[in-house]
Amino acid sequence: SDETSDEPSGESLPTGVERHTFDDRERLATQGPPVYGEPTDGDWRVWDAGRSKLGAMLELGMDTGLVGDETVLYLGAASGTTVSHVADFAGPTYAVEFAPRPVRDLVGVAEDRENLFPLLKDARKPETYAHVVEADVDVLVQDVATRGQAKVAADNAAFLREDGRLLAAIKARSEDVTADPADVFDEVVAELEATYEILETQRLDRFHDDHLGVVARPK
């Protein structure tokens, strides 16, 4: 099995992420201006694990190592659903997305968040944003849903500080639509192991079909 942990590893939410009750349900929430019509409670807003792989990783109790206030490089920001929550609890948050259309929305999200920096860049070409992103980021979050997800993570590993964390969501179907997801995950994890030490993996299927959450640190 490619699962190094079947059990939630206990509550380890970063400072700035809390569980709040919305409609009688305990949900993850962060403090910040609403972005995608999510329910709010005062200045807290729901972080919907069904719309966010990183949210699902936290909801499932994965030990992400996040404590709050870290410097983050986020690859595959799309229109900013997840990265808006990250910017709510993290420090400087660099958000890379190569599709111009979602970046327009992302820029709007960043207008309300002075620590969020949208970058219209290709995550396969880290040299194009290396001059903007500060060195030694604490956390590399990856949700690019493209073929070659392990290579993207490897190519961006140099941004991470020693003992930093890669928090990746691997989408099986982006690598191979027909293969058994478990086989795809084995291959991607094996490829990641050239650059990273894998700390934990967990299937995110409860929230995201055929996705694997990975926590790793650079070798």
Residue ranges for the known binding site for S-adenosyl-L-methionine are 81-82, 97-98, 122-123, 143-146
* CB 72 to ligand SAM: min, Å: 12
Q: Minimum CB separation from ligand SAM for residue 162, in Å?
A: 25
DSSP secondary structure letter of residue 139 = E
Q: Give the number of other CB atoms < 10 A from CB of residue 196.
A: 24
Residue whose CB is less far from ligand SAM, 48 or 70: 48
CB of 146 to ligand SAM, least distance (A): 4
SS3 track for 24-62: CEEEEEEECCCCCCCCEECCEEECCHHHCHHHHHHHCCC
Query: Could you list the residues that contact ligand SAM (CB under 6 A)?
Result: 52-53, 76-78, 81-82, 96-99, 102, 122-124, 143-146
How is residue 211 written in tokens?
């996705």
Neighbours of 130 (CB within 10 A): 12
Q: Nearer to ligand SAM by C-beta: 52 or 202? A: 52
Helix (H), strand (E) at residue 105: helix 100-111
Closest to ligand SAM by CB, 83 or 189: 83
Cα(185)–Cα(89) distance, integer angstroms: 30
Bind-site residues? 81-82, 97-98, 122-123, 143-146
Q: Which is nearer to ligand SAM, 29 or 96 (CB)?
A: 96
CB of 50 to ligand SAM, least distance (A): 11
Cβ atoms 98, 122 nearer than 8 A? yes
Q: How far is the CB of 24 from ligand SAM (least distance, A)?
A: 26
- 20/171 with CB nearer ligand SAM: 171
Query: Cβ neighbours of residue 182 under 8 Å, at least 6 residues apart?
Result: 2
